[in-house]
Structure 1
């Protein structure tokens, strides 16, 4: 697109004059196809182009900025991105999105942070961090608490320091419809060991633990630990576990079902015969729904990463791993039984590296390996934010059945 505009010191005034006569909306769309370096050059070619580039309602910067933020883990940002704040032609609204999902290390040590209003810093905080993290704002500005949380999350992904949070909270969804908000020592916090204790208390210790990635944010990802089984009775079924992982009415489309079936078949062939004992072929869908977009809304506070940007709807990114079966059943016709543990895992630079021989972003691959042992608190406020459709009969702080 840059070559189409023929931007160079030798550009003819006749060509530029014809381009300037286009509607401003069309010019903004064309500029949005440029990379950041080219857009910076083009925005200073004429007063009209500068006015279009500076207009917040047109904002041609949004598309190239999003392309950078949506880059894969092994791709670095455009060098021009870190100094965009010094250019008056870039609307400040773009920095709300940049601060919401950009890498913490890049924001702390490379980017030039602009001056934003207090309301904009508050919006950045609510978009980036879990609602439970607002407890840290006791005094000071939203910018101050935002930068503190950014330093804190960056520090904890590189160390086992727990000085600022000695106890880590997590939530258990019980099969009777209630939920417990519990806590454990942050220094020895291990969700597998904790959940094994819950399994033992529920007489489910003989069954395998299954782990699911629910949604990922800039600094943490939410994972759920539970038990899949073919129960003889509905007494031990945990219907809230199913509803939490699969919002009623939200499903993959037919093309995604076929692609996933091919992916599973390929994985079984590459891993070996033992793989078929844990992952069965998907069953055909048995239910259809109306327009669920009238019921659900895309999550904004906090804002998911690009690979989960459609949450709670399905995001065809290859990393939305909530569906391992279709219809009412999970993989192999199993269902969730007993309690479901929900916790927040800090995302580090190596968190997404494949570790086990099984499928990625599932079960042990979520908790074994580098940058997978640091966790943050997850409480009822966080649960309500990411799953507002979940109806609990009782919220209990601490162990027990409540009063």
Structure 2
């Protein structure tokens, strides 16, 4: 009795924080215990539901079936005490098969569906919105992504686009038949054209999203001269001024909460990445404060927890963009020739280690089950994930763009 009295005397903000530590099923029960608790849990500004929802979605890995979600999550939309704003995040990061086949989806305004679309999918995928509502195009692309990640069907996208960063500062947007799309085969031809056929191909995981991950294929070598070095490759993989040690001691869960902060739900200006100009890169010293002014964590699309701090370094072991220091990569090598960028669809087996080599790099990213389906990666996608990249020319198709 006395405990209840003291609990009721607490500020509502503190009560909301306490409720946020409960699991989802317990919070549902607590929300109906009293009028005051019902009012607190229904308040969209307090929103104690957010942390339990995020924990439920995060605690299951990509290889875990969606049935591992707390069963109460599936029918959360019928609970009048749950603010609708939580569904923007659920739609952005929940597994596609769960959203398609298990969840009861709420009625949301068009701007919420649009925000969920921008968070979940690559910007280039907006080409599919020709007619219909944002909900319609969201659900169509969600089903298409799930279907392609579980099968070899390519009927909905006959041609797959990819981008090649050239060492002369230009870039080409190319395409290949989706039915036979194989980045290793394509890059072997690129190496042959650059007279690098005898050199080993290295693959790096640049960024992981909810449904796709961006891969970069290139050649690491100790060049005889700077003429063959691809400066764009280095700049793309390592944003100027950003180093691994700058964020090595950050707490990963804090980074996730900051990236998904409630205040950023509909604020594009706070979290959209801003491209640093060349003058800014030259004039500003490399400090933590300046980097936070120059770069913004990616919010559209929203990275997976393994890359939550992107373009900064994300602790946890899966952000493997930094394997060396300074101008060189591991063993003093540099990126030479062309760098190929492509988007690989994530399926149930995509993240299972397959080769004997190091995980999440080189052949482990390309060889094995769940690694044969790709989606288009185009100019809007490159601009979204690397706005700091300064290209001399954007060329549609092969050639020099004359």
1:203-239 Cα offsets, whole Å, 9 max, x none, are: 0111100000001111110000000000010001000
In the aligned structure 2, how far is the partner of 1:67 from the partner of 1:250?
29
41-50 or 175-184, which deviates more: 41-50
Cα distance between partner residues in 2 of 1:163 and 1:310: 35
User: Which runs of structure 1 show a deviation greater than 6 angstroms over 4 or more consecutive aligned residues?
Assistant: none
Q: Distance in 2 between matches of 1:255 and 1:193?
A: 36
Task: Kindly indicate whether residue 166 of structure 2 is the aligned counterpart of residue 174 of structure 1.
Answer: yes
Task: Please give the secondary structure, in 2, of the residue aligned with 1:207.
Answer: coil
Are 1:210 and 2:190 matched, yes or no?
no
Counterpart of 1:47 in structure 2 is: 35
Name the counterpart of 2:139: 147
Q: Contact conserved, 2:248 with 2:314, CA < 8 A, in 1?
A: no
Residue 289 of structure 1: CA displacement? 2.0
Relative to 1, partners in 2 of residues 1:396 and 1:255: Cα closer, same or farther, differing over 3 Å? Answer: closer
Q: Which of 19, 24, 34 is residue 31 of structure 1 equivalent to?
A: 19
CA distance in 1: counterparts of 2:37 and 2:369, whole angstroms:
48
The whole-number CA distance in structure 2 between the counterparts of 1:314 and 1:77 is: 29
Q: More deviation in 247-256 or 347-356?
A: 247-256
Query: 1:56 corresponds to which residue?
Result: 44
Number of residue pairs aligned between Structure 1 and Structure 2: 361
CA separation in 1, counterparts of 2:400 and 2:247? 44
After superposition, the C-alpha distances for 1:246-299 in whole angstroms (9 at most, x for unaligned) are 111111227949xxxxxxxxxxxxxxxxxxxxxxxxxxxxxx821211111011
Q: Secondary structure in 2 aligned to 1:184?
A: strand
Secondary structure at the aligned position of 1:314 is classed as coil
Equivalence for 2:286: 289
Provide the C-alpha distance between the structure 2 equivalents of 1:298 and 1:83, rounded to a whole number of angstroms.
32
How far off its partner does 1:15 sit?
A: 2.1
Q: Can you give the 5+ residue segments of structure 1 that lack an aligned partner in the other structure? A: 1-11, 258-287
- Of residues 58, 65, 82 in structure 2, which corresponds to 1:70? 58
1:386 matched residue in structure 2: 385
1-structure distance, mates of 2:94, 2:326 = 36
Please give the TM-score of this superposition, normalised by the length of structure 1: 0.88
Contact 2:248–2:313 (CA<8 Å) still a contact in 1?
no
SS in 2 for 1:353: coil
The DSSP-based 3-state class of the residue aligned with 1:169 is strand
| Structure 1 segment 11-30 matched on structure 2, within 5 A | 12=1, 14-30=2-18
For 1:206 and 1:102, locate their aligned partners in 2 and report how far apart those are by CA, in whole Å: 43
State the partner residue of 1:264: none
Structure 1 residue matching 2:18: 3-state secondary structure: helix
Name the structure 1 match of 2:273: none
Are residues 1:124 and 2:123 paired?
no
Quote the Cα distance in structure 2 between the aligned partners of 1:237 and 1:341.
Answer: 15
Residue number in structure 1 paired with 2:334: 335
**TM norm structure 2:** 0.88
Q: CA 1:34–1:388 in 2, change beyond 3 Å: closer, same or farther? A: same
Q: Which structure has the larger Rg over C-alpha atoms?
A: 1
Matched, 1:100 2:88: no
Question: Per-residue deviation at 1:326?
Answer: 1.5
Tell me, in whole angstroms, the C-alpha distance in 1 between the residues paired with 2:303 and 2:335. 25
Cα distance in 2 for partners of 1:397, 1:213 equals 25
Q: Distance in 2 between matches of 1:78 and 1:325?
A: 41
* 1:194 Cα offset (Å): 0.2
Query: What's the counterpart of residue 266 of structure 2?
Result: none
Distance 2:113 2:225 in 1: 51
Gaps of 5+ in 2: 250-284
Distance of aligned partners of 1:254 and 1:382 in 2 relative to their CA distance in 1, 3 Å threshold: closer
CA distance in 2, matches of 1:116, 1:59: 17
